[in-house]
Amino acid sequence: MYKQGVMAIGATLLFIGCAGNEGLILGEMTKKLLPDLQKEAKEKKVILLTGQKCLHKAKTIEKANICNMKIRQKDPDFEMEDFSQWTSKEKKEVDDIVQEHVMFLDCILVSKTISEATECKEP
């Protein structure tokens, strides 16, 4: 989901470490990149939580797969396969996955610098 963005930031930070003047460059990167990264994180969090709510209401596999389709339409970056079954086990797995991703996105949302954002652990 954010792997490419975080990897690009990490590569840039590596370069900055070698190039010196770290404080100035990191400050500029934070001003330019962090707001966009946080905006995207906020949007993805809304999609995740909306999808989770839809899935909680789904009583059948067909309804659960309709929720997945809606999530993929809102954001194709979400790689979700349709369910082959829809039981309490799948619902719990979905909740666990959503919780992991929400924690990651919340970490990005509270980051004050790009360096902090790169420390967030992607699930």
pLDDT band at 80 (very low <50, low <70, confident <90, very high): confident
* Pairwise CA distance, residues 67 & 5, whole Å: 27
Average pLDDT, rounded, for the chain = 83
Residue 57 to residue 116: CA distance in whole angstroms:
36
Per DSSP, the three-state class of 36 is helix
What's residue 32's pLDDT? 79
Listed residue (24, 17, 45) closest to 120, CA to CA? 45
pLDDT confidence tier of residue 24, bands split at 50, 70 and 90:
low
Q: Kindly tell me if the per-residue pLDDT of 19 is higher than 50.
A: no
Nearest-angstrom CA–CA distance, 92 and 119: 27
Task: Give the model's pLDDT for residue 109.
Answer: 96
pLDDT tier for residue 79 given thresholds of 50, 70 and 90: confident
Q: What is the pTM of this model?
A: 0.74
Tell me what the mean pLDDT of segment 16-36 comes to. Answer: 66
Pick from 94, 111, 108, 2: which is nearest to 48 by CA? 94
Q: How confident is the model at residue 114 (pLDDT cuts 50, 70, 90)?
A: confident
Residue 77 is given by DSSP the state T
pLDDT in tens, 30-61: 777 889 999 999 999 999 999 999 999 999 99
